[in-house]
Structure 1
């Protein structure tokens, strides 16, 4: 019952919010109340590892099967708790222009519904349907509530690119799922994972794995399939940017683990060199782009491409350590990206833009709370030991250096060296942003401009930012809190990886 309620509450809340005409306080109460209760239910569901499994479409053998295990538990908690933060942050300030507040909040709740259903779906067809639920509300957030400082055509282009790329990925993913279900005779992901691809020929496993990896790679996104992401992040409102980076991108990497690694392990093993190379290309490309990018939101988007590259490299290693590194890196990036987008979004509301070439006052002097949060987020982004991102990236490189026996050791070790170069690039662009925004180097007296006033974080927004800072430090000091959740599940999932059919 708790699991069912957890899925129904944000859905019913979204319907209620969208149905409310105009502006009122009712939709605010509905949105915040439903997300808080959903978060409490998520804790109960994860703690009790709840599951529901009943027939749904009997003629096709599709079941209404949802459950939580060690692979999805942290992502369920991240989605539920972060949505509370997004709604609380949105309600503490003006709703972005472009539509009614009820529509805005309804779209946020729909994204939460689809994401939670995706992370808990235990049927391949159900997984696909849940995955697609988030696309339309996210398109609305970008198209209608995006940056009102840019022309309408720019918002339309960013939203349209987001939909076209992700729908292409969905199509490829669906074809791969249909081939898998057709040849295995079931869409139950638990059964498919237990079979480890048994009964599928070598070529068929590779073909299915290729379809799933490309389709889901667009959604991660992996280089060079990432071109939709920077524009979507730049245009989206703060709530959209946070959900896109912290939740939607994680659905792609989670799908690779749940759909590809678990069901066609031999195919993934054969394609692992390509996955590793694309991951490293993303690490380097994202880092180099961040070194020259002038828009701060766009810079964070490119850094997401780099961080997702480490997750791809970890998956390509084929080891239990690699899979745990990928799952840990997912959560780490989600928390860090959320913090950075909250901070930068608040600054953009005051500045009107996030152009790094515009002279501005130093945050350390004018807004020390924002300055502290920005420095912590940047330090975590560069993988500083003691903060959450360190463990995901360090374990990814460690796993790639000592991969599973069936993986190309020499190639992966070259990728490790290149990945280490990517860490140096991350340090360089993080220090660049800190120098310009936090220290305000060359922004005031050197340009002959007065220090503009910047209101510091306060109220609910400071509470959201401070909570994320605490989580980043806590998980950096106590990584076993997350690693312990996924240990048993990753061992079982990889038990048949690399076995020749």
Structure 2
């Protein structure tokens, strides 16, 4: 069997085993999940080490699947997808460690996360639109049950809102995919073949409508303003591990779709409407930052910063479309920065959501006004939160700085006004994280009982994510060397 297929379907096979064996002790389930997640992560690292480089696909497999519509089981990785595959495997491993303390319906919880790991990995390596759509839809189903089954007080309502919003987005995607299939000659759902054909090149308003359908589907998943309203309640009500996967992995499915599908397959339409993409990106940056500043709920605040950070990615890919005919270095910087931001945001925001889970376990609420002075009794917790907060606002030495520096440098020449406005988002983000840290960890304590510090399990699950953010911030070459050739290939396709 192809090694990429093993990486994708190993977690699902492990989930099936959990239900095939009756009366499995919770302790076994937890360690089974952890062992499978660790093995899958090790396999992904082996893929990275053995990756040949360049701008082509590696570990490719292409088998007949639904021949009547020219849809195949086509998998492969390149410099755009491999970093996200590694991010996905790493975050699911971190959540497996964090959930060693899980005691509510442990087998179902572990099986759902193993299922989610398979569909997430599958989406990032899919090179067929139908296969991509299947994984995209199944991720919605898996996360719906995580939120509804293990969330907080209003979890059912938040789960339904999440499902309906993102399901509407998936339907829009399906319409766009079918349109691309019908426009291709010969008809195909193969992403590589559609990229070669550019079936709607010079298609005028038809290409614009297809771009709109795909854009709505991916924008809801990202999410961007005005399609973001499902995100804050979903994050607020979800369990900590669910929020970490939702922010760190599932949101990237939207931004990945822009770079993998929309830009190379619909280059003419993308260039024509790139200014709209830029405007949406800037609005998302500023709206996410200012609304986050107004929040009293720590987890809800982090959720709105995700809208802000995803806005930087949208700004970058839009700017790359505006400068597609010139400034090759600038547009490559923008796209490379966008992909780097996907990885950076995944690491840092997943760590922040796990830290929010620690906060909830200590005080039973995310309301920042209910806390104070926690640094005195929980210095490790305070220290990790401070590192995560400073990483999120893009200070030098962290991965966020590398990503945002490339985004701003690559976007400034094409969209100077939009880029300057987006700079304000960094200032507001700095203000909101500093204020949140002061409220929770500094000043007088609001409780007579000292808060417990991080446990070993909590520390081992969260600290490596922040260490990786520092490693990328200080030694980014190993990541950029992987992303840059693939970014250049996408831009060459878009400039045709």
- The two structures have a TM-score, normalised by structure 1, of 0.92
SS of aligned partner of 2:369: coil
Rounded to whole Å, the distance in 2 between the matches of 1:274 and 1:158 is: 30
SS of aligned partner of 2:63: strand
User: Is residue 2:413 matched to residue 1:402?
Assistant: yes
**Offset of 1:475 from its aligned partner?**
0.7
SS of aligned partner of 2:177: helix
SS of aligned partner of 2:75: strand
Decide whether aligned partners of structure 1 residues 199 and 230 sit closer, same or farther in structure 2, where only a CA change above 3 A counts: closer
Which residue does 2:257 correspond to in 1?
255
Which residue does 1:30 correspond to in 2?
32
Aligned pairs for 1:120-159 (under 5 A) are 120-147=125-152, 150=153, 154-159=154-159
Contact 2:97 2:460 in 1 (8 A): no
**Offset of 1:328 from its aligned partner?**
0.5
User: Is residue 2:461 matched to residue 1:464?
Assistant: yes
Contact 1:375 1:438 in 2 (8 A): no
**Offset of 1:305 from its aligned partner?**
0.3
Aligned pairs for 1:162-181 (under 5 A) are 162-181=162-181
Contact 2:88 2:117 in 1 (8 A): yes
**Offset of 1:364 from its aligned partner?**
2.2
Rounded to whole Å, the distance in 2 between the matches of 1:454 and 1:18 is: 38
Which residue does 2:494 correspond to in 1?
497
SS of aligned partner of 1:67: strand
User: Is residue 2:422 matched to residue 1:415?
Assistant: no
Which residue does 2:102 correspond to in 1?
94
Structure 1, gaps ≥5 residues long? 404-411
**Offset of 1:23 from its aligned partner?**
5.8
SS of aligned partner of 1:70: coil
**Offset of 1:194 from its aligned partner?**
2.7
Give the counterpart of 2:274 among 251, 258, 272.
272
Give the counterpart of 1:351 among 354, 358, 363.
363
User: Is residue 2:370 matched to residue 1:341?
Assistant: no
SS of aligned partner of 2:265: coil
**Offset of 1:18 from its aligned partner?**
4.1
**Offset of 1:28 from its aligned partner?**
2.2
Structure 2, gaps ≥5 residues long? 52-57, 321-330
Give the counterpart of 1:111 among 109, 112, 116.
116
Moved over 6 A (4+): none
Rounded to whole Å, the distance in 1 between the matches of 2:493 and 2:461 is: 42
SS of aligned partner of 1:281: helix
Which residue does 1:479 correspond to in 2?
476
Which residue does 1:202 correspond to in 2?
204
Decide whether aligned partners of structure 1 residues 223 and 292 sit closer, same or farther in structure 2, where only a CA change above 3 A counts: same
Which residue does 1:8 correspond to in 2?
9
**Offset of 1:110 from its aligned partner?**
0.9
**Offset of 1:282 from its aligned partner?**
1.1
Which residue does 1:406 correspond to in 2?
none
Contact 1:387 1:477 in 2 (8 A): yes
Count of residues in correspondence between the two structures: 475
Aligned pairs for 1:224-235 (under 5 A) are 224-235=226-237
Rounded to whole Å, the distance in 1 between the matches of 2:218 and 2:22 is: 37
Rounded to whole Å, the distance in 2 between the matches of 1:79 and 1:7 is: 11
Which residue does 1:332 correspond to in 2?
344
Decide whether aligned partners of structure 1 residues 388 and 110 sit closer, same or farther in structure 2, where only a CA change above 3 A counts: same
Which residue does 1:160 correspond to in 2?
160
**Offset of 1:202 from its aligned partner?**
2.7
SS of aligned partner of 2:65: strand
**Offset of 1:433 from its aligned partner?**
0.9
SS of aligned partner of 2:62: strand
Contact 2:282 2:422 in 1 (8 A): yes
Which residue does 2:284 correspond to in 1?
282
SS of aligned partner of 2:368: coil
SS of aligned partner of 1:50: strand
Rounded to whole Å, the distance in 1 between the matches of 2:47 and 2:474 is: 26
SS of aligned partner of 1:456: coil
**Offset of 1:214 from its aligned partner?**
1.1
SS of aligned partner of 1:262: helix
Give the counterpart of 2:299 among 297, 300, 313.
297
Q: Deviations over 1:292-316 (max 9, x none)?
A: 1011000000000000000100110
Give the counterpart of 2:485 among 460, 465, 488.
488
Contact 2:147 2:159 in 1 (8 A): yes
- The two structures have a TM-score, normalised by structure 2, of 0.93
Contact 2:180 2:200 in 1 (8 A): no
User: Is residue 2:71 matched to residue 1:68?
Assistant: no
Q: Deviations over 1:417-476 (max 9, x none)?
A: 11011111111101111211232x3x43xxxx4443211113222112221221111111
Q: Pick which of 344-353 and 245-254 moved more.
A: 344-353
**Offset of 1:193 from its aligned partner?**
2.0
Aligned pairs for 1:35-50 (under 5 A) are 35-46=37-48, 47-48=50-51, 49-50=58-59
